[in-house]
A and B are shown apart, each in its own frame.
Chain A
Amino acid sequence: MTDLSHLDRRSLLRLGGLAAGGVGLGLAGPGVITPTRAAAAEVSVECDAGQNENPFLWKSAELQSHFGISPHMVGLPFVGQYEKLVTDLTARSAVYDVLVFPPYFLGDFVQLGFLRELDPYFHLLDPKLADYLPVYRDPVIKRNGKTYALMFDGDLLQVAYRSDLFGDPEEQKNFKAKYNHDLAPPTTWDEYMQVAEFFHRPPKLYGTAFYAQRGFCYAWFINIFAGFGGQWFGKDMKPAIDSDAGVRALALLVEMKKYAPPNILQIDYPTLNEIFLNGSTAIVVQWDDLALKVENPAMSKVVGKGGFAPCPVRSYMPYSRVMAVSAFSKNPDKAYQLASYMQQPEVSATYVYDPDCGQDPYRFSQLNVADVKNHLGKPTMSEAAAKSYVDAIGAGLKAGYPELSIPGAPRYIDLLDLYVNQALAGSLPPKAALGACANEWESITEAYGRKTQQAAYDAWIASFRAVGLQY
């Protein structure tokens, strides 16, 4: 070890200064040497942590070379994202430039002034909105006629079933003998229950499964509720969730537990994927990206055995993801360029069919069987499976049922989820659970102001009626 005892204090300070300077130069070195990296503007992108950050990472080099943008990912937990964003943005934090979140936050975020209007930035890079599927355009990214977000992920619930079981002549014969009609992807919820009952052969094969854990179980309820003709609110913003359609839908979901694995109340998004991918379930309703995972041998034991169809009657469109520019961003131009680039037709087509991320189609140009490839351009499905998948998305979107997106939507939805979960857990009967939920909804509506909420709800309904969705 070097003996420094002979050095006086001043010499030691000089030596320390030189050492610190050397370390500093070393750290700063690559930035000084590489002009492109030094010029790159860092744009922080908030996104729920995990697979949904991947598209930004895959496009990082392109963003740098085209716009001099270096995306800095800030991953937030999937559950808890809303509270974290509201807390940070209320404090006017500039920590995020681009915000990636589900559109049901949009009502609150626009009202609270968290987002920049994007129309004035369109000249920087045309977002090509004419190519958006209409259900994802005005109803999802606009409020009061202004654009506040761009699409990143078009979510939709879809039926995935075991095509090998459905195609088995013996199964077909037995099914027809029992239910007096052909074994086929269900078009009504009664048919869905028959399929679930027929294939329920525990412990090797369960009839069905669904997201029953607290957090998103409401979506599986709304999916059935929509099929029974239910609506979120009725006249004068009175909750319609506890209508006959609601009680029937929740009772059916509770009954569906009979044909599900015993740990049904623990089943969330990855678990639901897993129990279909390991071949232990005959039919499930899941977000549409399950299809890509089914055909991926690294993830699935049922490659080539997956069939895909729209949900019976209506297909609920829960979650999705949009990209918006924070009102507090210090670099809104670059933030907009990043968001706009990521959703360009030729860019988004390279990730919406990749099983290593959770993004799903939202443009006309993406509904193309030839585009069902991963981000490296390798096909992710057989042509037949890809056709079944893309057709199911197209058919599902035609009968899509949009997610509530008015001020207070996260709170309405969270309470609905709690009470649906209470019914699934057996703590409350369906009618009582939905009645209690309706009471809570009334207090939210009162707090926001009934007239204000009615106006927001009417505008929201009008936006998707205008694109041809029934309600």
Chain B
Amino acid sequence: MTAPAFNAPAGWPTRRAVPGRRFGWLLVTPALAMFAANCIFPLVYAVLISFQHYQMLIPVPPRFAGLANYVAIFSDPLFWSSLKVTLWFLAGVIFLQFPAGFALALLLDRLPKRADLAATVLLIPTIIAPSVVAFQWIQLYNYQFGPINFLLGLAGIARPTWTGSPSLALPSLMVVDFWEWTPFIMLLLLAGLRALPTDIIEAARVDGSSAWQVTLRMRLPLLRPVIGIAAVLRVLMSFKLFDIIYVLTAGGPGAATENLAYFTYIQAFRYFNLGYASALAILQLILVIVLAKALLALTRQSGRQVLPA
């Protein structure tokens, strides 16, 4: 569809004649230069070295490698296991945190008083530094002296080795992430709920819709754009998850909690295998863009469907 042409009223300054346009560009230039230096250049540089054999610790100059780094990644079992860990973690984020965050948001939305205070208290885990969160959970998960195992012991249940068991380590990390970030989702969804048009919801209630129907068929569809944004943010954050893994499990036991970010860190900063690590980073970037696009496409059909024409 072509946009209708805009005809400026007589007497308005023309585009060429807008005063101070050059000065405006001059003002924006430092910001643009900073953006180019800090965002564009590193990205382009990363793309370039992803096509090179570049190992910083080996006194051999970098040389062109074509797609060798990418081919090597796809034949590396550690890449596949770290991708699997990343996707499992992501599934946990989407399928556990969103229902819980939505339930909390609904609860707070209905609280007549003190909702803001409750929201603030619930948000405390989100504002604590992730490394501090990880140290807290080291104590909580401690096999011998941790309060969780102490309580399980009182109940006569065998004490699990939370982060020391290959089958429990990843779910244990998911629990930490759930504790830390579910309130963030709650906050976004609560803001979304409060911005919903009240008239159509009231109309639906007058028409005899139950609370459950209103929630499922009206609020949830209307919240789609907010859910989309929250989902994209959490996908981005989950892909970047590093600090909690570094402190709590160091990727172990074995490679049970080594996600793509941690695997890339090891390649880049422990082995200084920069070409390979850059290729990994570029692949992650592509993966995140694809996932974010897919999520936004899913939520693009906004709540307008339910709104009266």
Contact = CB atoms under 8 A, between A and B. Distances in A.
Interface of A: 79, 82-83, 86-87, 90, 108, 111-112, 213-215, 261-266, 407-408, 410-411, 414, 418, 421-428, 436, 447-449
B143 A421 contact: no
Contacts of A111: 59
Interface string B55-70: 1111110000000000
Interface stretch (B14-22, B119-127, B198-206, B251-259): B251-259
A209 to B, nearest CB: 12
B166 A214 contact: no
Interface string B31-64: 0000000000000000000000101111110000
Contact of B252 (A108, A112, A213, A411): A213
10 contacts: A86-B57, A213-B250, A213-B253, A262-B161, A265-B253, A414-B266, A427-B166, A427-B256, A428-B254, A436-B77
A333 B11 CA distance: 78
Contacts of B143: 261-263, 266
Contact of B254 (A79, A86, A425): A425
A266 B256 CA distance: 13
B165 interface: yes
A266 B57 contact: no
Contacts, number: 83
Interface in B224-277: 249-256, 266, 269-272
Given A214-B252, A425-B252, A448-B58, A82 B270 contact: yes
B164 A264 contact: yes
Given A262-B143, A425-B166, A427-B255, A447 B58 contact: yes
Given A263-B143, A266-B163, A266-B164, A112 B254 contact: no
Among all A-B residue pairs, the 8 with the closest Cβ atoms = A214-B252, A266-B164, A422-B254, A425-B254, A263-B143, A425-B253, A265-B164, A427-B254
A254 to B, nearest CB: 12
B267 to A, nearest CB: 10
Contacts of A422: 254-255
Most buried by B among A79, A108, A418: A418
A91 to B, nearest CB: 11
Contacts of A86: 56-57, 272
B59 A83 contact: no
B173 to A, nearest CB: 14
Contacts of A428: 254
A421 B58 contact: no
A306 B55 CA distance: 47
Contact of A421 (B55, B165, B254): B254
A414 B270 CA distance: 9
Given A214-B250, A214-B252, A422-B255, A265 B161 contact: yes
Contacts of B163: 266
Interface in B138-161: 143-144, 159, 161
Contact of B250 (A215, A261, A425, A449): A215
A214 B163 CA distance: 12
A79 B164 contact: no
B144 A263 contact: yes
A418 B255 contact: yes
Nearest to A419: B254
A399 B53 CA distance: 41
Contacts of B159: 262
A414 B252 CA distance: 13
B55 A263 contact: no
A136 to B, nearest CB: 25
B277 to A, nearest CB: 12
Given A263-B143, A264-B164, A428-B254, 18 more contacts: A83-B269, A83-B272, A86-B272, A112-B57, A213-B164, A213-B252, A214-B252, A262-B143, A262-B161, A263-B144, A265-B165, A265-B252, A410-B270, A414-B266, A421-B253, A436-B77, A447-B53, A447-B55
A439 B209 CA distance: 64
A428 B78 CA distance: 12
Contact of A263 (B56, B164, B272): B164
Contacts of B53: 447
Contacts of A436: 77
Contacts of B58: 407-408, 447-448
A71 B159 CA distance: 46
Contacts of A83: 269-270, 272
A90 B54 CA distance: 15
Contacts of B253: 213-214, 265, 421, 424-425, 427
Contacts of A261: 143
Contacts of B255: 418, 422, 427
A47 B81 CA distance: 34
Nearest to A448: B58
Contacts of A421: 252-254
Contacts of A82: 270
Contacts of B59: 111-112
B79 to A, nearest CB: 13
A177 B163 CA distance: 40
A436 to B, nearest CB: 7
A76 to B, nearest CB: 14
A266 B161 contact: yes
Contacts of B144: 263
Given A86-B57, A112-B57, A263-B161, A424 B254 contact: yes
Given A112-B57, A214-B251, A265-B165, A411 B270 contact: yes
A213 B254 CA distance: 9
Nearest to A422: B254
Contacts of A426: 166
Interface string B181-218: 00000000000000000000000000000000000000
A20 B259 CA distance: 52
Nearest to B60: A449
A428 B256 CA distance: 12
A219 to B, nearest CB: 15
Nearest to A420: B254
Most buried by A among B166, B249, B252, B269: B252
B120 to A, nearest CB: 34
A312 to B, nearest CB: 26
Nearest to A109: B57
A32 B178 CA distance: 56
Nearest to A215: B250
B85 to A, nearest CB: 12
